[in-house]
Structure 1
Amino acid sequence: MCTQLFDPKVDYIFKNIFGSEKHPNILISFLNACIKSKSPITEVKIKNTEITKEYIEESFSRLDVLATTQNGEVINIEMQRADEKNMIKRSLYYWSKIFAGEYKVKGKYSSLPRTICINVLDFKLLEEEKFHNVYILKNKENNNMLTDVMEMHFVEIPKMKEIDQDDMLSLWTAFLNDPNNEKIVELEAKYDALHEAKIELARLSRDPKEAELYRMRENAINERRNFFLETFENGREDRDTEIVLNMLGEGLDEGMISKLTKIDIIKIKEIREKYKS
């Protein structure tokens, strides 16, 4: 009987695979595939290895991967499944916290390390066609780089349509999307790190204790998602009400308001009835 594999996009599983001290080659392979540096990463030290039960149950906790490389770079990886409408500013905030935190360790601005944030997203965020996009600090007019200490990656899983077997990041993205993908299964033997990740995922998926933690984390994530959906819906209701009342106040009829705003005319009538003086 085949084991039903856990979804590697669940942050708890992602962290156990890519942020495990027992499997550094997995993280090294992923980072080299993503960053594509002229000086490949050969060693990593994972800084946040502990995952407590409180983290698992807390819907607002972050189970990301934070590591340093032999080149002195600091790299943060976050796996995000739901679009909470704040990803870009959120990533900038995380980068700034990590970068500022390094000052406390180094004590000198000149010693601050290159800091890279990699956001792996299970939704479409950017108005870019490619599934992997990199942002750095450059001169707006002549494109000259200001510094390489800041680098931000966005890997949007849904945008990758076809697997490119010559691009390791394409393979890792396909693995995250569906570890049972026929092409991934076919190529596992060719890439040791990919094979190692699949074995570790299978091990986690067979372990009853891990299954319980996985279920708890899924529940916490669903609670978080529902919270943001409700908040978004309530915010949209407030905005719709404000728009309708303002337009009614300007003397527009219900049909015209519906045409201009795309708000259902029944909802407009309900708002008018509710707030009529």
Structure 2
Amino acid sequence: MCTQLFNPKVDYIFKNIFGSEKHPKVLISFLNACIKPESQIKSVKIKNTELTKEHIEESFSRLDVLATTENGEIINIEMQRADEKNMVKRSLYYWSKIFSAEYQGKGRYSSLPRTICINVLDFKLLEEENFHNTYILKNKENNNLLTDTLEIHFVEISKMKQIDQNDMLSLWTAFLDDPNNDIVVALEAKYEELHEAKIELARLSRDPKEAEKYRMRENAINERRNFFLETLDKGLEEGRKEGIEQEKIQTVIRLNNLGLDTEQISKGSGLSVEEVNSILSKLE
């Protein structure tokens, strides 16, 4: 295969491979590998297939994959390459939006569907060793499950050090990291969905129109990354002007990312609540 393949971690390409109605088997394989349901998912309906030029060029637009299974479960997949220091709360926010959108004044909370968010990350986020971690609602004291309605997954690509050939999620993660990986290439003949994804990636990579969209999306992503870095630098500079040490500013950012409230951050950083709020406001 002579064509240089596009990076499948670019959300535009990811959506075209895993969120296309033309390749449902690819998405089903990925979902079964990630969620590992008791009963395998057999069919999906992709809900947000539209990809307009405005979506591609808008740096803050989300090119996620939203689908429903034959059992009515709603699953959202987001490919995120840049660490914007807000991933956990961002995922909870989008989960809540997707979940609440299903209510629409129907009057029956009991009918609200099981909703799952899968975050595929090209950076390290969690203080966990495994590359795949799942979070649900359980009793803090006895670990009893409250409900399976909420489920959030994080797949951190860079944490997978060795490919497990018997684990399909490991193979999909390896594909995203490097579709020309020798092990991935060798196993394409064994796994039809993996081969189908590779063929679609090659097709996209050869298409001049898709190449233009790919470049547009890369530019938009870079624009967003630069905006975030400039905002962060501005926050740090403002903090320095206010006499706050950079180390303490970084401490505030880290504690905020861990989900601590303002008072807890204040105690942990040695700064006043007002100083903490000033730093956090500049990062929003």
Q: Please, what TM-score do these two structures have when normalized by structure 2?
A: 0.85
1:90 aligned partner, one-letter code: R
Tell whether the 8 Å contact from 1:59 to 1:224 is kept in structure 2 after alignment.
yes
SS of the equivalent of 1:137 reads strand
1:101 aligns with 2:101: yes
Q: Where do 1:125-164 residues align within 5 Å? A: 125-164=125-164
SS of the equivalent of 1:5 reads coil
Q: Which residue of 2 aligns with 1:234?
A: 234
Q: Which residue of 2 aligns with 1:19?
A: 19
Q: Which residue of 1 aligns with 2:48?
A: 48
Tell whether the 8 Å contact from 1:106 to 1:112 is kept in structure 2 after alignment.
no
SS of the equivalent of 1:76 reads strand
- Say if 1:91 and 1:28 are closer, same or farther in 2 by CA, change over 3 A: same
Spell out, residue by residue over 1:217-269, the C-alpha distance to the aligned partner (whole angstroms, 9 max, x if none): 00000000000011011111222333458xxxxxxxxxxxxxxx9xxxxxxxx
SS of the equivalent of 1:189 reads coil
In 1, Cα distance between the equivalents of 2:203 and 2:163?
25
SS of the equivalent of 2:233 reads helix
Tell whether the 8 Å contact from 1:78 to 1:120 is kept in structure 2 after alignment.
yes
In 2, Cα distance between the equivalents of 1:31 and 1:96?
20
- Say if 1:106 and 1:206 are closer, same or farther in 2 by CA, change over 3 A: farther
Displacement of 1:115: 0.1
SS of the equivalent of 2:188 reads helix
Displacement of 1:107: 4.2
Tell whether the 8 Å contact from 1:76 to 1:116 is kept in structure 2 after alignment.
yes
1:219 aligns with 2:219: yes
Tell whether the 8 Å contact from 1:137 to 1:146 is kept in structure 2 after alignment.
yes
In 2, Cα distance between the equivalents of 1:237 and 1:167?
46
Q: Which residue of 1 aligns with 2:110?
A: 110
Q: Which residue of 1 aligns with 2:74?
A: 74
Spell out, residue by residue over 1:115-137, the C-alpha distance to the aligned partner (whole angstroms, 9 max, x if none): 00000000000000000000000
1:196 aligns with 2:192: no
2:197 aligned partner, one-letter code: A
Identity of aligned residues (%): 81
Q: Is there any run of 5+ residues in structure 1 with no aligned partner, and where?
A: 246-260, 262-277
Tell whether the 8 Å contact from 1:179 to 1:198 is kept in structure 2 after alignment.
yes
Q: Which residue of 2 aligns with 1:174?
A: 174
Q: Is there any run of 5+ residues in structure 2 with no aligned partner, and where?
A: 246-268, 270-284
Displacement of 1:191: 0.4
Q: Which residue of 2 aligns with 1:258?
A: none
Spell out, residue by residue over 1:170-220, the C-alpha distance to the aligned partner (whole angstroms, 9 max, x if none): 000000000011110011111000000000000000000000000000000
In 1, Cα distance between the equivalents of 2:90 and 2:214?
25
Q: CA RMSD in A?
A: 1.4
In 2, Cα distance between the equivalents of 1:40 and 1:189?
22
Displacement of 1:62: 0.4
In 1, Cα distance between the equivalents of 2:14 and 2:223?
19
Q: Which residue of 2 aligns with 1:208?
A: 208
Displacement of 1:141: 0.3
Displacement of 1:50: 0.3
Displacement of 1:108: 1.4
Tell whether the 8 Å contact from 1:32 to 1:40 is kept in structure 2 after alignment.
yes
In 1, Cα distance between the equivalents of 2:20 and 2:215?
20
Q: Which residue of 2 aligns with 1:272?
A: none
1:219 aligned partner, one-letter code: N
List, as ranges, runs of 4+ consecutive aligned residues in structure 1 with deviation greater than 4 Å.
Answer: none
1:28 aligned partner, one-letter code: I
